[in-house]
Each structure stands twice: as structure tokens, then as C-alpha cells.
Copies of this chain bind each other. A is one copy, B any other.
Amino acid sequence: MDAELPHARRDSIAARLLNGQPVVATALASEFGVSEDAIRRDLRALAAEGRCRRVYGGALPLSPALEPMAARIREGSDRKGGLARAAATVVKAGEMLFLDSGSTNLTLVEFLPEDADLTVVTNSVEIAGAILRRQDLRLIVVGGLADPFVGGCVDAAALQTVARMRFDHAFLGACSVSAEFGIGAFHFADATFKRAILDASRHTVVLATTDKLTEQAPHQAAALSRVDLIVLEAATTAEQRSLLERAGCRLLITPND
């Protein structure tokens, strides 16, 4: 890994951080064969670009990817409620739905119409629990080896299971959303699984909190053209919206309350 180009070294460090790995300044210095000063300058630059969090001794990834699902559940469900309420309006009675893992989709459960004879399929353990608590929903659990970071099953077994299903609406969890990169995921297996969901569903909906639009995720799950509808908060800029629309997406803006 002896890169002559300074820029390559910085990219390499950035890639690790994007993957959720913390980095130690001294270790990087010896690994790349440069002084700690050079590494420190890299880390400072990356932090200035908002690509990591500078801490004493090195740097930490700022994306919540490295914190397991359980820790992410409790935060910020207020704003997500608006998104979920708006997204739930696309659901019709008798449909078969898929809810991908993600805290936003967890919020969606309580806004699904009541007694509408819905069948809900999910690979998320947490979401399955929420659905089970609502006794008017039929629940199908997608099993497999559970990924603690994703909070559900995205392995080959799960992929095979959903490949034999056909959803009316799939609510995809997105770690990042952008016009160029499309729907991003923090983990490779998760991205692959999301593609399988896309293939298995007639309509795909993505709930995107505003922070998802600036987030950077290393793996592309799908291009935006594959997504039928993106639900956005009212706090998004007109530029952000037009970019997504030009990428071929219908938008649903949450009414401010």
C-alpha cells in the first residue's frame, strides 16, 4: 500500500472512515511511511470536508453506521413521523408490503391504515416486533443471519426468500440519497439485498430525511430511476428537489405542521 500520490493516501483513509472504521493517527503514519504530521493534516482536511470527526489520537466516522441498530432506534422520531404519515397514504387495502430495515420505516408501522387487510413483509427484527404488536397486520418475517449493523437479515437466505415474493409497495431504507449516486447503503450485503427488493416489487418508495441527501454511503443499492416515489421533508431546498426530479423520481413533500 505504498502510494506515491498523497491524494491516494487521503482517499484510502477516507474509504476506511466511510466504512465505519475509526482510524488512529500513529498507526496510519507508520502504515503509509509518512510522519504523523502529514496524517494529521489529512485528517484535518477530511474533517473540514465533513467526512469524519476529528478526535484526540485519530478520527472517527461521523456516519451512524458503526453504531448498531439498537442505538439508532431511539433518536429523532418526531420528524420521521411526518414522513411516515405522508408515505402511508400510498398504501391501499389488501396490499402486500415490504418494509426494509431502518428507523424511518419503523416509524411507518404505526401510520399504516388500520384493518386494511395488509400483509407486511420485513427483514428487520425491530420492525417485525412493531408489526406483531399491531394485531390487524399479517406479518411475514424474512429470516437468515442477522446483521447487527443493519438490524435485520440481508444474507443469501433472505435474498432467496424475497426473490420468491411479489410486493405491491416496497418501502426501501436509504442510508444516502443523491441524484448521481442514487440510493446508497453503508454495507455491501445490504445494498445487494435492496436490489433484490426492487426486483420483487411493483412500486418502490423511499423515505428520506433531509440529512440523507448530504450523507455519503459507499455502496450503491440502485439508481434513482428504479425508485417510483421519494418522500421528502418540507425543509429541503428547491435545488435538491429539482435535482432528484430530473433524475426521474416523483416526489412527495411532507406538509409542514
Contacts and interface: CB of A to CB of B under 8 A. Distances in A.
Interface of A: 4-8, 11, 15, 18-19, 22, 24, 27, 55-58, 60, 63, 65, 67-71, 74-75, 125-126, 128-129, 131-133, 135, 138-146, 148, 151-153, 158, 161
Given A4-B58, A6-B55, A19-B70, A148 B129 contact: no
B11 A60 contact: yes
Contacts of A131: 146
A60 B146 contact: no
Contact of A133 (B15, B19, B24, B70): B70
B153 A57 contact: no
Contacts of A24: 4-5
- The quantity of this chain's copies bound in the complex is 2
A60 B14 CA distance: 15
A6 B132 CA distance: 41
Contacts of A158: 143
Nearest to A54: B7
A69 B141 CA distance: 16
Nearest to A138: B145
A28 B243 CA distance: 48
A257 to B, nearest CB: 25
A139 B141 CA distance: 14
20 contacts: A5-B58, A5-B60, A6-B55, A8-B22, A15-B71, A18-B71, A18-B75, A19-B71, A68-B132, A70-B133, A125-B139, A125-B141, A126-B132, A132-B148, A139-B146, A140-B144, A142-B143, A143-B143, A143-B144, A143-B153
